[in-house]
Amino acid sequence: MRYFILILGVCFCHISEAQTLRSRTVKLMGARFDITIVAEDSLKAEKHIDDAIAEIKRIEYLISDWIDTTQVSHVNQQAGIAPVKVDQEVIALTQRALELSKLTNGAFDISFAAMEKIWKFDGSEMEMPSRAAVKKAKAKVSYRNIEIDTVQSTIFLKLKGMKIGFGALGEGYAADRCREMMLARGVKAGIVNGSGDMNTWGRKPDGKPWMIGLAHPFHRGDLYAIIPLEKSGAAVTSGSYEKFAEINGKRYSHIINPATGYPATGLSSVTVFGPSAELANGFSTSIMVLGSKKGKKLLKKFPGYTYIMATDKGKFIHSETIPLETYRVKNND
């Protein structure tokens, strides 16, 4: 989803003291990725972008559950049948997901993917799914039924019909990996934004911080805030206003509450800032389910992360460490 607008304030050309900024937009992992690199010249910048795209594609063909041949798809195909051997990278990502599930008491759960056949959020839904259908699908959702064998490097889903998906972590993980790869190469500045899962490093060629505009959840086309990304490189927004189902005049969020099997309510958007886009995404998704009170309590345990939330009723709540004067607000009622 396009929750962020990158505010460059420059043209994509030679800018200052042998620094060139280049950007490219591609569709990967079922999402729009905007990749921006600052390098000594255009050729090097474009090569770095090529390599970032290759890394995202590598991750996509490892963890995407909509591609039948990936390791995660094999895990889903063998649900209730047998453990599946996967790369250590997939084991590690799954372990982090399970740790987040325990931390949030199940508000975050990668096995929510079993609900995808019930809730599509693609514009095709004309009526609510039946309670029986929701109950049947929800019975397959529980992180406690995911078994990891680190010695054999296998993942096993205990119940037939179970499914795991990394839609809430994968794009952030890819953004983090690209940032790490570029920093290891000595690329001093850039941005990888996977449809709202963004990680940045360094500064613009003019020495100023990267600026992002947060899309207003209640006024389409407007920005709610313009924020400099100085201390926290990653910024992730989860929201109900870009992807949703509208049934009988009521809007339903695409973020499912694993405890009920129904869309989360109470918050319209949650933006989390911090060092990791993967973890920021996990937090923003969890808080959409937990609500603002429990969400703020959760993030107090992680001082490197801050937040801005918008309730369904139009109220904005921000972290105490984000003073009001550090960002501009438009149409804040």
Any idea where the domains of the chain sit in the sequence? 4-60+173-329, 71-157
Q: Residue ranges of the chain with pLDDT lower than 70?
A: 1-18, 121-126, 231-232, 241-245, 247-251, 321-333
Give Cβ neighbours of residue 262 (< 8 Å, ≥ 6 apart): 134, 252, 256
Structure confidence at residue 111 (pLDDT):
95
How much is the pTM?
A: 0.89
Give Cβ neighbours of residue 233 (< 8 Å, ≥ 6 apart): 179, 199, 200, 201, 275
Structure confidence at residue 16 (pLDDT):
43
Residue that has been written with the tokens 């895990």 in this structure: 75
Q: β-pairing, 84-85 with 154-157?
A: antiparallel
Query: Any alpha helices (H) in the chain, and if so which ranges?
Result: 42-63, 71-77, 88-103, 131-138, 170-184, 277-290, 292-299
Residue that has been written with the tokens 């987040």 in this structure: 100
Give Cβ neighbours of residue 188 (< 8 Å, ≥ 6 apart): 38, 201, 202
Contact 59, 170 (CB under 8 A): yes
Give Cβ neighbours of residue 178 (< 8 Å, ≥ 6 apart): 35, 52, 55, 56, 192, 199
Q: Is 265 helix (H, G, I), strand (E, B) or coil?
A: coil
What does the mean pLDDT of the chain come to?
Answer: 87
Structure confidence at residue 7 (pLDDT):
59
Structure confidence at residue 255 (pLDDT):
86
pLDDT digits (tens, 9 = 90+) for 9-44: 443 344 445 689 999 999 999 889 999 999 999 999
Q: Classify domain 71-157 at the CATH topology level.
A: T-fold (1.10.3980)
Structure confidence at residue 18 (pLDDT):
63
Structure confidence at residue 10 (pLDDT):
42
Contact 156, 260 (CB under 8 A): no
- Do domains 4-60+173-329 and 71-157 share one topology? The answer is no
Half-sphere exposure at residue 259, Cβ-oriented, CA atoms within 13 angstroms: 11
Q: What is the rounded CA–CA span in Å between residue 127 and residue 73?
A: 29
Q: Classify domain 4-60+173-329 at the CATH topology level.
A: T-fold (3.10.520)
**Amino acid identity of 131?**
R
